[in-house]
């Protein structure tokens, strides 16, 4: 029982919220990349992915530790 106008406003609100969340995610990624390049510390992608696979499988793996990246 929603009017067409209310439906459109809600769709616009959802789109704006999603775009703002995406922009914030990308901004944080850029900040972290700058920090990683400045400090030289990071976690290799294959370790991060392995960690997430273990978590998705319901296990409680040890978090990978940042280290000097060459």
Look at residue 70 and tell me whether its pLDDT is greater than 90: no
**CA quadruple 30, 43, 52, 49: dihedral positive or negative?**
positive
Average pLDDT for residues 3-16, to the nearest whole number?
97
pLDDT at 69: 87
Q: Please state, in angstroms and rounded to a whole number, the distance separating the CA atoms of residues 32 and 6.
A: 39
**Statement: the pTM of the whole predicted model exceeds 0.75:** no
Please give the DSSP secondary-structure letter assigned to residue 57: T
The predicted pLDDT at position 29 comes to 97
11-45, pLDDT tens digit by residue? 999 999 999 999 999 999 999 999 999 999 999 99
């Amino acid at each position: 029982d929603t009017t067409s106008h209310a439906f459109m406003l809600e769709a616009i609100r959802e789109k704006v919220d999603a775009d703002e969340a995406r922009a914030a995610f990308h901004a944080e990624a850029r900040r972290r990349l700058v920090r990683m390049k400045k400090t030289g510390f990071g976690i290799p992608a294959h370790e991060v992915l392995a960690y997430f696979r273990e978590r998705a499988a319901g296990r409680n793996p040890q978090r990978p530790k940042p280290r000097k990246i060459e």
